[in-house]
Amino acid sequence: IARAVYDEIVCQFEHYCFLENVKDGFKNNGAIQMQEELLSRIFEKRVRCLGTLSKGSKMIMERLSKKKVLLVLDDVENFAQIEALLGNQHSFGGGSRIIVTTRDIQSLSGVDARYSPMFLSDDEALELFMQYAFRTNQPSREYDPLSRRAIEYAHGLPLALKVLGAFLDNKSICEWKDELEKIKEIPHVEIQGVLKKSFDGLDPSQKDI
């Protein structure tokens, strides 16, 4: 969802960045390297050897305090990670937006507004998925286990179910198996990218979902 919002509004901003897997990045690479990666993407040039988080925070204040910035921090573990990346006094120009995704919304008590996506039950997910996956053909029983796999990969998200269903519509059993096998090998955090590619491949009438 955050990726879809980002792609929709990014053209309205002077500087922008979608920073994926923040939690894992902090764990594997450390705070300073994550801040360097963030700044490199925002400024579209390599930022290295900051040495301290305060240097990065100072760079943000000096160069972005009057700029309209869009920033998405994906899979953040706690508010301390946001402060490590942006500093305690992070401030961008008017109209800027910071979007944070997390698996534990209670850990982000300092945010201005929260949004919790709606998840469907397995039965509801299957019903919605089949509306889009079988608009041109009636399903045979061979599709039943494949449909169950598909809704598992969509994690109960309505938009994901619609996009994946429309993408698989009018495809053969073999094509279903091939596409679902590809998705199976992709980590959960990267599924949204796959769904976006699937969405981009739909015809205009299918995209109206």
Determine the straight-line distance between the first and last CA of the chain, rounded to whole angstroms: 14
Cα–Cα distance list, 102 to 5, 22, 111, 194 (Å): 16, 10, 12, 20
- pLDDT at site 58: 87
Distance CA 196, CA 207 (A): 11
Distance CA 161, CA 13 (A): 30
- pLDDT at site 87: 83
- pLDDT at site 89: 59
Q: What is the mean pLDDT of each run of 10 residues along the chain (209 residues)?
A: 85 94 92 92 86 87 90 90 82 88 76 74 89 80 90 82 87 92 65 56 55
- pLDDT at site 186: 62
- pLDDT at site 91: 73
- pLDDT at site 178: 92
Q: Which residues contact 108 (CB under 8 A, 6 or more apart)?
A: 76, 78, 79, 82, 100, 102, 114
- pLDDT at site 174: 94
- pLDDT at site 37: 93
- pLDDT at site 194: 53
